[in-house]
A and B are shown apart, each in its own frame.
Chain A
Amino acid sequence: MISLHGIERSFLVGDETVHALRGVDLDIAAGEYVSIMGPSGSGKSTLLNVVGLLDRPDGGRYELDGRDVTGLAEDDLARVRREKMGFVFQFFHLVSRLSAAQNIELPMMLAGIDPLERQRRLQQLLADYGLEDRARHRPDQLSGGQCQRVAIARAMSMKPAVILADEPTGNLDRHTGQEVMAVLERVHQSGGSLVLVTHDPEIGSRAKRRLRMRDGAIVGDERG
């Protein structure tokens, strides 16, 4: 489903060029559960952003469902993101003035989904993620674990083909982290792909496929 060929991404820092990704080749099939581990600065987040179409590679080819998305215009990229990608971030990134329910609704609102359908899906998501009694609460009235559950529900609201999670447990204690992982894995079990960046070997080892990165390149790819 996802197919990267020779992806390059470099940043200009001062007058030095930092190669965040060096010729990355990667194929991810539909429904796969992949974890990405590696030292800090090895390019994990950059890779995830490229896969999620948040960032454009400087070189190489990216095919999504057989379609070349490397050269798509900004607004087309936005539409593909909306339809196919779900993001979960380390810092949750909830809009603080909106309630949990309104945060979950955001992608559906941007996609212009009919309010009735939206309401139906919202109720389902609140039930699925155990947030029914928190729907009207604002993020500052929720615990970290609840915030991340809201973020996951939001990522799932458009029924994306891929969930991209960048250190989703990085800001949670061990116990809450385990809970959030269980929720994320449920998402994966319902048929979507899950790509997870983590520093925690215990969490990383739960994935069926485990990538290892160093200096902008994939140096390990274990399965099973």
Chain B
Amino acid sequence: MRATDLLDFAWQVLRGNRGRTLLILLALAIGVAAVVAVTSLGEGARLYVLNQFGSLGSHLVIVLPGRSETAGAMPGVLVGKTPRDLTLDDALALKSSHAVRRIAPLVVGAGDVHVGSRVRETPVLGSVADLMAIRNMELAQGAFLPEADPRRMLPVCVIGSKVAFELFANQPALGEWLRIGDRRFRVVGIMAHQGESLGFNTDEIVIVPLAAAQALFNTEALFRVLVEAKSREQIETAKRDVEEILRARHEGERDVTVITQDAVLATFDRILGALTLAVGGIAAISLAVAGILVMNVMLIAVTQRRREIGLLKALGATGRQIRLMFFTEATMLALAGSALGLAAGQATTHLALQLYPDIPFQAPWWALIAAPAVAAAASILFTVAPARRAAQLDPVQALSRR
């Protein structure tokens, strides 16, 4: 039998049983589309998080007070022993490392910001001029915090675009004064719209000099110290130096946690990658279900087409030819179902992109290959039994009028 005849014959069967064909196509398409859509959501989340970290700044080492290591130790021993604070002097000492380019100590709190009679509660960030470079911030208007001794309480602030709008409406904010608690600050800069960046929405914060924030929140302790290494290669050196310097200053105790952006990135990347794979796998179960449906429909087809199969055998079809006919049918269904599913999956991804333009939804390449491959494998595999049964039909029995 020629390949073209085989295809033509299968095509006639599929066309002749429209309802059945559409049902299988639907099942396969839903399975493939589910895998594509779900993995593209997962992949979108992964890329989104990676981008967020990327916008944090380059070659970043982050210092947190307290030890977040619990491995092996008896947790009870550590409880009750407050970790030593991270101070501005600690932060400034880090500059002595040759691997460190800049540092930006951070103090964070929430404050009521007043302008005239308007009040708004916003996160208030105390930091230094270098923060802008370290976190790749952009300004819409004015300037960032001035380069100055971080111990000086300059009465200036930089505000986010949303804060500016809410407090000053459409009036020019630059040069105006605002009040946080009992302190007054002059607006020297407005940040460009950047949106969310790892926990902070820069549109919604007020940045003041470090010393001012320490006074406002009445604390010496730093929330974080952001350290920028001189190059990517020096990140590890910078991390070691930071740990050494702080240990020396803290009487030999390792009471800070130092994380590098790379390590955090890699962890998130791993977790979200695994998550995408897992949900993709769950969605793939629907493909197996589609495969079982194919098998059932094919088994019914064998029963319904007993006479036809018997006739074909009487006309000289070999068992192999009968099996091939069934497999051709299954393959055509699988290919068409996969194509439909890929199209539907991509359409869903596209729709998600329209709804959430910030998140880079896109199906990972492996899902685009695996989903149709699994669909094809399932429908062909599940056709083995029906095809064998058809090939073994006794033509005399099949043709008898019973």
**Taking the complex as formed, is A29 at the interface, i.e. its CB lies under 8 A from any CB of chain B?**
no
Give the shortest distance, in Å, between A193 (CB) and chain B (any CB).
17
**Taking the complex as formed, is A87 at the interface, i.e. its CB lies under 8 A from any CB of chain B?**
yes
In the complex, chain B residues whose CB is within 8 Å of the CB of A89: 399
Which residue of the partner chain B has the closest CB to A155? Answer: B315
In the complex, chain B residues whose CB is within 8 Å of the CB of A158: 316
**A196 to B399, alpha carbons, bound, how many Å?**
18
Contacts A54-B396, A109-B1, A112-B2: A97 and B12 contacting too (C-beta < 8 A)? yes
Give the shortest distance, in Å, between A7 (CB) and chain B (any CB).
15
Contact with B along A21-62 (1 / 0, CB 8 A): 000000000000000000000000000010010110000000
A-B contact count (CB 8 A): 67
**A97 to B317, alpha carbons, bound, how many Å?**
18
Binds A, one of B50-58, B192-200, B305-313: B305-313
Which residue of the partner chain A has the closest CB to B8? Answer: A109
Contact with B along A52-85 (1 / 0, CB 8 A): 1011000000000000000000110011011101
B308, B317, B319: the one contacting A110 at CB < 8 Å is B317
A109 touches B316 (CB 8 A): no
B1, B308, B321: the one contacting A95 at CB < 8 Å is B308
**Taking the complex as formed, is A106 at the interface, i.e. its CB lies under 8 A from any CB of chain B?**
yes
A110 touches B316 (CB 8 A): yes
Which residue of the partner chain A has the closest CB to B3? Answer: A112
**Taking the complex as formed, is B16 at the interface, i.e. its CB lies under 8 A from any CB of chain A?**
yes
**Taking the complex as formed, is B148 at the interface, i.e. its CB lies under 8 A from any CB of chain A?**
no
In the complex, chain B residues whose CB is within 8 Å of the CB of A111: 1, 316
Contact with A along B61-74 (1 / 0, CB 8 A): 00000000000000
In the complex, chain B residues whose CB is within 8 Å of the CB of A79: 316, 318
Contacts A93-B399, A110-B321: A81 and B316 contacting too (C-beta < 8 A)? yes
Contacts A49-B396, A97-B13, A112-B1: A75 and B315 contacting too (C-beta < 8 A)? no
**Taking the complex as formed, is B9 at the interface, i.e. its CB lies under 8 A from any CB of chain A?**
yes
Give the shortest distance, in Å, between A148 (CB) and chain B (any CB).
14
**A56 to B183, alpha carbons, bound, how many Å?**
106
B311 touches A95 (CB 8 A): yes
Q: Apart from A107-B316, A109-B9, A115-B4, what 8 extra A-B contacts exist at CB < 8 Å?
A: A49-B396, A54-B395, A55-B396, A81-B314, A81-B315, A93-B311, A106-B312, A154-B315
A-side residues, CB < 8 A to B, are: 49, 52, 54-55, 74-75, 78-79, 81-83, 85, 87, 89, 91, 93, 95, 97-98, 102, 106-107, 109-112, 115, 154, 158
